[in-house]
């Protein structure tokens, strides 16, 4: 095989795979702005009518609000518990470390239906079914790996000597961690928290079992809509979810840029 | 091992002077949370699968004797395997290009790869529902081009489920493979080329064999994820493509047979946990926090 033919083939393969990855996203976003009544791509014309439908429907608004609250609470819990754990796992020699890290990552590789069923069975006697706090507690478990992984990555790349310098100059070690190390690794923590937030807003099965009745989050509402309706409202709701993800991601990137400028 | 631990010990006498206290205190809240909101519920589920009316293995007897479960398990295994192989084949060239590409190109490709990762699984499956229908984009284009007279039956079969499943697992496959390929010592490829190997020969005889452990690792991970799929087969498949997660869902939410659902859940958990354990054994999860380096 000649080198140029190989390169051309490789580039073609990469472009094809990227189109395959991106196209479904483009279709949904385009249809959400459709002027037509049906799910047709390309849309017959552009309008915002499906967004108006959502904005005027109290059920959609409340679903979005439930998702935002569950996402925020679960991401906050995951961050508060995950950051100290990341410190312990990156900075100390701990017996059984591989088991402990496996335990944290377990939630990522457990099938969602198993998590959902077991959480429901556990929550019924505790009275946590149909509560926002219940769903947030469950989502915090699956959000934690994202926080721990991202925090650990920042911790490893952060310059430890700044913290050591502060301690050498008489700072209390705890103070040095809080005032020197935490600000340096904060972009990593924020990205982890955002991943946890987005994961929570997308999660369907635990949400269906725990909060599937009244006051359901937006993923559950989209899922019941997808199986029933054929108008582009679902596409608009999905695009709002995508927008939410992009917005949180953009704010994270902005925070990161800001932190970089401050440290420079 | 760290500057922090001895300094802390000097500052505060007593309990904190023991070097293992600080990491234990840091880890404890997280571990308590996981035990309470994750492991305890899983244990309860396994218990419920045994204790419907007194202690019995009846639910498991049904599970292993009924033709329905056998068939669903077979389908799940088949779909997850095909999806894994397809994802690996499609991910490999992209991961390779990411490994050899320079900064800007790498950033751009990574951006494209990660965009779909931020989009809901329901939404991504739903998109194929729109594209693959009889009046969908693909059939309409093919008919307008005169290549077809009748629309192809693209929806509600194995093809539609697989095309969506692979699209969903592809970003994580690419990222995992890319991570593994970055660890390959590239000077070995340079050495092969200096000794007269062509680019293709260097790839085939040096890079590819070295990348295989990464391929197996990514394969295991993707297989676990694909095994538990619910949304995609439920939306894009026919009853023939029913996967195990759907059966558990029906068992629990429609038949309200909690013992049976729990038993199926326990078996599913056992399967994915054993594969995860194999993964952990050979591709240590520890690597995520930098392995043994402090």
Q: Running DSSP on this structure, what letter comes out for residue A44?
A: S
Nearest residue, CB atoms, B137 vs list A41, A111, A242: A41
- Could you tell me if residue A82 is inside a domain? yes
pLDDT digits (tens, 9 = 90+) for A54-77: 899 998 899 999 999 999 999 999
Average pLDDT (A188-217) is 90
The pLDDT confidence band at residue A139, using thresholds 50, 70 and 90, is very high
Q: How many domains does chain A have?
A: 1
CATH of domain B58-289: 1.10.3720.10
Residue B79: the pLDDT is 96
Question: How far apart (Å, rounded) are the C-alpha atoms in residues A160 and B7?
Answer: 14
- Which is it for the CA torsion B209, A10, B164, B168, positive or negative? positive
Largest CA distance in chain B: 84
Q: Do A111 and B273 touch (CB under 8 A)?
A: no
Nearest residue in B to A174, CA atom: B8
Q: Is the pLDDT of residue A263 over 80?
A: no
Residue A262: the pLDDT is 67
Residue A132: the pLDDT is 94
Q: Do B27 and A25 touch (CB under 8 A)?
A: no
> Considering chain B, what is the average pLDDT of its residues?
86
- Could you tell me if residue A71 is inside a domain? yes
**CB interface of B with A, residues 142-181, below 8 Å:** 164, 167, 170-171
- Supply the pTM of this predicted model: 0.88
pLDDT beneath 70: ranges in chain B: 1-19, 52-53, 284-294
Contacts of B236 in chain A (CB under 8 A): none
- Could you tell me if residue A111 is inside a domain? yes
Q: How far is CA B207 from CA A132, B185, B218, in A?
A: 50, 9, 17
How much is the ipTM here?
0.90
Contacts of B25 in chain A (CB under 8 A): 84
Residue B287: the pLDDT is 60
- For chains A and B, what is the number of CB pairs under 8 angstroms? 288
Of B168, B143, B166, B288, residue with least CA distance to A104: B288
Residue B85: the pLDDT is 97
Residue B144: the pLDDT is 86
Residue B288: the pLDDT is 52
Q: Do B45 and A117 touch (CB under 8 A)?
A: yes
The pLDDT confidence band at residue A264, using thresholds 50, 70 and 90, is low
The residues facing A34 across adjacent strands are A46
Domain of A108: which CATH number? 1.10.3720.10
Q: Do B27 and A100 touch (CB under 8 A)?
A: yes
Q: State the nearest Cα–Cα gap between A32 and chain B, in angstroms.
A: 11
Contacts of B59 in chain A (CB under 8 A): none
Q: Is the pLDDT of residue A207 over 90?
A: yes
Share of residues in chain A with pLDDT > 90 (%): 41
Contacts of A88 in chain B (CB under 8 A): 22-24, 26-27
Residue A158 lies in domain: 58-263
Residue B143: the pLDDT is 87
For chain B, what are the domain ranges?
19-50, 58-289
The pLDDT confidence band at residue A88, using thresholds 50, 70 and 90, is very high
Of B78, B93, B5, B231, residue with least CA distance to A9: B93
Residue B294: the pLDDT is 31
Q: Is the pLDDT of residue A228 over 80?
A: no
Q: Do B245 and A112 touch (CB under 8 A)?
A: yes
Q: Do B42 and A118 touch (CB under 8 A)?
A: yes
- Could you tell me if residue A35 is inside a domain? no
Question: How far apart (Å, rounded) are the C-alpha atoms in residues A164 and B135?
Answer: 66
Q: Is the pLDDT of residue A121 over 70?
A: yes
Cis peptide before B270 (omega within 30 of 0): no
């Amino acid at each position: 095989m000649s080198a140029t033919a190989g390169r051309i083939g490789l580039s073609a393969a990469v472009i094809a795979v990227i189109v395959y990855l991106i196209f479904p996203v483009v279709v949904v976003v385009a249809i959400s702005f459709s002027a037509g009544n049906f799910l047709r791509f390309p849309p017959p014309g552009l309008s915002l009518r499906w967004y108006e439908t959502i904005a005027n429907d109290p059920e959609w608004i409340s679903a979005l609000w439930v998702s935002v609250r569950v996402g925020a609470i679960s991401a906050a819990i995951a961050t508060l518990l995950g950051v100290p754990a990341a410190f312990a796992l990156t900075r100390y020699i701990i017996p059984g470390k591989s088991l402990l890290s496996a335990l944290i990552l377990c939630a990522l590789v457990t099938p969602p239906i198993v998590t959902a069923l077991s959480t429901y069975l556990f929550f019924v006697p505790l009275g946590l079914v149909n509560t926002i706090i219940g769903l947030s507690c469950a989502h915090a478990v699956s959000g934690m790996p994202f926080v721990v992984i991202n925090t650990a990555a920042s911790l490893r790349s952060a310059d430890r000597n700044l913290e050591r310098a502060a301690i050498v100059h008489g700072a209390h070690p705890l103070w040095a961690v809080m005032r020197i190390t935490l600000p340096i690794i904060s972009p990593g923590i924020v990205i982890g928290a955002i991943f946890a937030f987005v994961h929570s807003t997308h999660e369907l099965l635990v949400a269906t079992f725990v909060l599937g009745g009244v006051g359901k989050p937006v993923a559950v509402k989209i899922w019941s809509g997808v199986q029933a309706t054929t108008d582009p409202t679902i596409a608009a709701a999905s695009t709002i979810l995508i927008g939410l993800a992009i917005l949180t991601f953009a704010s994270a990137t902005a925070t990161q840029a800001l932190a970089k400028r401050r440290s420079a | 091992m760290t500057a922090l631990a001895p300094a802390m010990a000097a500052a505060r006498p007593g309990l904190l002077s023991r070097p293992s206290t600080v990491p234990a205190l840091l880890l404890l809240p997280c571990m308590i949370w996981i035990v309470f909101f994750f492991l305890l519920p899983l244990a309860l589920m396994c218990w419920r699968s045994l204790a419907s009316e007194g202690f019995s293995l009846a639910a498991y007897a049904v599970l292993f004797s009924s033709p329905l479960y056998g068939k669903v398990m077979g389908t799940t295994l088949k779909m997850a395997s095909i999806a894994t192989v397809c994802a690996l084949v499609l991910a490999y060239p992209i991961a390779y290009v990411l490994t050899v590409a320079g900064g800007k190109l790498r950033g751009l490709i990574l951006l494209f790869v990660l965009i779909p990762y931020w989009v809901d699984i329901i939404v991504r499956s739903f998109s194929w529902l729109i594209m693959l229908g009889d009046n969908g984009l693909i059939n309409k284009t093919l008919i307008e081009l005169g290549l077809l007279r009748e629309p192809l039956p693209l929806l509600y079969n194995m093809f539609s489920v697989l095309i969506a499943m692979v699209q969903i697992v592809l970003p994580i496959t690419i990222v995992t493979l890319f991570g593994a390929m970055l660890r390959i010592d590239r000077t070995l490829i340079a050495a092969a080329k200096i000794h007269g190997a062509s680019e293709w020969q260097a790839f085939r005889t040096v890079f590819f064999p070295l990348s295989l452990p990464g391929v197996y690792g990514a394969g295991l991970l993707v297989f676990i994820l694909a095994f538990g799929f619910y949304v995609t087969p439920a939306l894009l498949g026919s009853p023939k493509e029913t996967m195990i997660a759907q059966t558990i869902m029906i068992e629990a939410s429609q038949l309200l047979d909690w013992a049976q659902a729990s038993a199926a859940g326990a078996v599913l958990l056992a399967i994915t946990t054993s594969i995860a354990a194999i993964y952990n054994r050979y591709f240590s999860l520890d690597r995520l926090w930098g392995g043994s380096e402090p």
